[in-house]
Structure 1
């Protein structure tokens, strides 16, 4: 990865220096041609889901799914059910300039394309790549095109629901240079899942504080609620004990947050100065608590060695773990196969000393669909995104014929969504709470079930017919007996039970920056290794608590202070 980081530094310098080259002259000439629109086409009312009168061709960079997840029989990367769908529905054809497996191989090719200034008409990039391309003058300003062609559904998601936060990340000098994804905020919130049946059997009060969690976990262990070897609290099986990306399972993030510590985040200290969350003094306080819990046997003694911590609650050995709301939908649902009598509940715990539930958040956007400067039909990309996101979100404004066509021709196959250039994963930023409220409103007769969106309407049908308790996640054999799956049963309860802690309100803390600075590109691997090893050793007792102070000194000396200054400079821009 070091050579990639170094290359990107060189690319920024190279492409910026070349921005006034003869290539730009050619691009400008092409842009002028693109401005000569057919008056008849321009004068037509704009249909965000309508096909073009004449075939529009887009050259793209094609991401490929990893591993063996490829194509259904009779399909190729160049010609498949997905490409044929967009050709029939929008009259759009694709030319692939190059393919690469998603992740590092794809990022390498993006960097080479930037260096050569030979980018396709459309491609997906991350925030760092977006900034580089904007600085180099490689991208089309799509402000007017977005305003004119974006569907009501897209604008509602970006503006009404996300408050323009995602669009802001793709806007430079008041010009929009890409279509951003929108991450669900609730996916970043890590809550406490607990075996409510065990809690009730022991006649213990529900948890709120860190002390409550410790006492309950000890009671579970002492009373062997999961048999011999009962585990109190699971831990992460990754080097990072907390993270900045969201969708974190089994991490200690809520413990740190309850002390207002935010490892791996860029935050402001009490004096208003930028700092790194992992070196805050309150991080040492949180490590002290985790260290004692581990020493007392509350935390799984082998958490850092386990391949899959889920196995502990799936086997009935564990009754408490931290995770995102959707674990009630997936992992916990599978636990009923082992023990159909288990009952789970989610809690906004632990709270901080003021009684507030605090959590870190994730980046609002991580992926962008960008358009080459001078491309004649930037509106084609917007219309493609309109259709894909409209179908994914089951927006009622999407023509039924198109939704049915997609369902019949694509949903029935095993084709990977990775192959869809228009797929920029976008949802209601507050999807968890809003869908939870809608489901409960329909149950309570305050919301018309007919108004429910396409994702949760089927969930309401299950809720209203089978579910008699919306406060806990438990097994309903009749649901399965009637031919539904565990996921069908757990889906609505994931929103209602897993989403309950968020419905009570929380304080969300966003990192000031989510992309690397120049020094981070060469130093971050070593700094992260130092952090991960120090924190783990402190918790499991292989290093004294005061080694945290030595870590902070070493971190600063190895480039941390320089990085803090770079972060300050970047967030000012």
Structure 2
């Protein structure tokens, strides 16, 4: 775990995202290149590759593209173009990958936009939901229905049906035009993180209600929890994008008031409505405005992106934030402070009614095949390959090679899928083994996390993150609480952007962020929320709502 502590915040964030198997809003999963028009392979090769993992003979060439996230996890002497994965594709599947481009992750979304505009598409590649819709509407991607039905392995198909239909966003008119990086619906549910060592120092009990939590926040801001004799701490940390970024979000706070910002939810009559414009959101903003006015919220949050906000946490300036289960990765760097500790708790209720939290099917990345590529089944076989090497019969013998010493070796390949909702099962099995001392039933990944926890308990503070994610008092214990008490509300819209979303959502999102930020700062009165709702509807929100409901009713 020491290797994580030394990495940059951006890298830590990426580790957490891949841990959660959810890279959102962009080409965050590796993209794949393909040959240009006219370079498709002879169809006869497909006839010799009829099984889920059968080999093309002769081999076929597949152009793809990729971001460079995997470079941090390469084995010594390997490159993104030549590694255990690319050699596996070539030797076992007869698929020779070539790369049109490999760029930094931060630039991959724009690079893909340029590629799409050029018309020279790779054979197999990954795109975000907006790019997928553009390609679909332009008729530039292949129908994968037959390829998936014929070549998809039993395990791959099982993955796509764990906890929901992981392919729902790419089904159009009964056909399948892409395969998602579906990772389930649990890894991004919000919870609240509190400096437990500060609570102990100030004689505070863990929060059971929102009043409890706000009392803790007030004490953190006013009672010198770091003991330096200065008034230089505050209760709650936000970041300037509020609900963007992979952690340190506003939405968990809002959930305490029964608001579900950014979600499409049933209004009780069978119609879907946008959670950010509901009255509950106004109540949550009014509360946050009062906290900011009282000095309980970081006064400079509006200038800090998620990385800067994380630096404030690690510097010991704030004691509460809201984020998903992978958030302990962001605070591992605070392990240099031998006294610092954080605990995760369920979102408390502001009024006694159980506080539901949002969950969402995670599949922001879509793998597609160029419409005239002769071997659309090659994408399916590459996903079969990933599933087999990490979870199939060969995993016990080969997973070490394909995962590498970091456990993140899957980052090296442009086409990947992890078992959906796998983390909750890991937690259940690890906790059972910790209680019994019997590890015989643990798989390789579970045993690895079990060992890290034991190392932490033996004094290796660098393994703290595993205790706080997979241990008995952990973020996954909070997720289990949500499951046991039926506290999850699934986002009811997971399709590609509607026509009006594609043209107006960015404007509406900007309006939402600016309005909410000004309300929290006190620059706008709370009743400015009502004007926001009216403007949101007029500027395209009503049309988007109509389109969302039309899609929902057609499913």
TM-score range with shorter-chain normalisation?
Answer: 0.7 to 0.9
Label 1:399 to 1:281 Cα distance change in 2 as closer, same or farther (>3 A). Answer: closer
Q: Of residues 435, 450, 453 in structure 2, which corresponds to 1:460?
A: 450
Instruction: Give TM-score, length-normalised by structure 1.
Output: 0.77
What's the C-alpha RMSD, in Å, of the aligned pairs?
A: 3.6
Asked if structure 2 preserves the Cα contact closer than 8 Å seen for 1:191 and 1:324, the reply is yes
Distance 1:515 1:385 in 2: 22
Q: Secondary structure at the match of 1:451?
A: coil
**1:226 touches 1:318 (CA, 8 Å); kept in 2?**
no
Q: 1:68 to 1:550 in 2, by over 3 A?
A: same
Range moving further from structure 2, 398-407 or 270-279: 398-407
Please give the alpha-carbon distance, in whole angstroms, between the structure 1 residues aligned to 2:409 and 2:247: 25
1:509 aligns with 2:490: yes
Shift of 1:280: 1.3
Report what 2:433 is aligned to: 442
Per-residue deviation, residues 325-377 of structure 1 (Å, max 9, x unmatched): 2222x233221202x12332110022253442322223431222223446443
Structure of higher CA gyration radius:
1
Unaligned runs of 5+ in 1: 1-23, 468-475, 481-485
Residue 398 (structure 1) aligns with: 394
Offset of residue 77 of structure 1 = 7.1
Q: Deviations over 1:217-268 (max 9, x none)?
A: 11233321124234343332223x235xxx6422121121222222233333
Give yes or no for the alignment of 1:94 onto 2:101.
Answer: no
Number of aligned residue pairs: give it.
505
Separation in structure 2 between the aligned mates of residue 459 and residue 68 of structure 1, nearest angstrom: 23
Q: CA 1:298–1:145 in 2, change beyond 3 Å: closer, same or farther?
A: same
Change in Cα spacing, 1:120 to 1:306, as seen in structure 2 (3 Å) is closer
| Cα distance, 1:267–1:343 mapped onto 2, change above 3 Å | same
Q: Identify if the C-alpha distance between structure 1 residues 572 and 341 changes in structure 2 by more than 3 Å, giving closer, same or farther.
A: same
TM-score by length of 2: 0.79
- Alignment gaps of 5+ in structure 2: 1-36
- Check whether the contact 1:188–1:324 (CA below 8 A) recurs between aligned residues: yes
Match of 2:56 in 1: 52
**Corresponding position of 1:21:** none
In the alignment, the residues of structure 2 paired with residue 564 and residue 493 of structure 1 have an alpha-carbon distance, to the nearest angstrom, of 39
Paired with 1:358 and 1:103, the residues of 2 have a C-alpha distance of 33
> How far does residue 35 in structure 1 lie from its aligned partner after superposition?
7.8
* Corresponding residue for residue 124 of structure 1: 126
Matches within 5 A, 1:106-505: 106-113=112-119, 119-134=121-136, 137-159=139-161, 161-163=162-164, 165-227=165-227, 228-239=230-241, 241-243=242-244, 248-306=246-304, 308-328=308-328, 330-338=329-337, 340-351=338-349, 353-373=351-371, 375-391=373-389, 394-398=390-394, 402-403=398-399, 406=402, 411=404, 420-423=413-416, 426-445=417-436, 449-464=439-454, 467=457, 477=459, 479=460, 486=462, 488-496=463-471, 497-505=474-482
CA pair 290-121 structure 1, distance change in 2 beyond 3 A: same
Change (3 A) 1:272 1:312: same
**What SS does structure 1 have at the residue aligned with 2:440?**
helix
* Counterpart-to-counterpart distance in 1, 2:382 and 2:46: 20
Query: Is residue 258–residue 352 contact of structure 1 (8 Å, CA) maintained in 2?
Result: yes
Please give the alpha-carbon distance, in whole angstroms, between the structure 2 residues aligned to 1:418 and 1:335: 26
Partner secondary structure for residue 339 of structure 2:
coil
Residue in 2 that maps onto 1:105: 111
Shift of 1:37: 6.2
Contact persistence 1:184–1:427 (CA under 8 A): no
Q: Is the 8 A contact 2:143 2:175 kept in 1?
A: yes
Aligned equivalents of 1:379, 1:67: Cα separation in 2: 25
Deviation string 1:63-109 (CA, Å, 9 cap, x unpaired) is 34389989999888766665344212322113556777521221332
Residues 352 and 358 in structure 1, CA contact (< 8 A), matched pair in contact too: no
In 2: Cα distance, 1:414 partner to 1:41 partner: 31
2:159–2:419 CA contact under 8 A, matched in 1: yes
Match of 1:542 in 2: 523
Q: Answer whether contact 1:363 1:514 (CA < 8 A) is retained.
A: no
| Aligned counterparts of 1:541 and 1:349: Cα–Cα separation in 2 | 25
Equivalent residues in 2 for 1:59-70 (5 A)? 60-65=63-68
Segment of structure 1 superposing worse, 131-140 or 70-79:
70-79
Q: Where do 1:22-37 residues align within 5 Å?
A: 34=43
- Measured at CA, do residues 76 and 326 of structure 1 come closer, stay the same or move farther in structure 2, by a change above 3 Å? closer
Conservation of the 8 A alpha-carbon contact between 1:456 and 1:492? no
Structure 1 residues 412, 437: closer, same or farther in 2, change over 3 A? closer
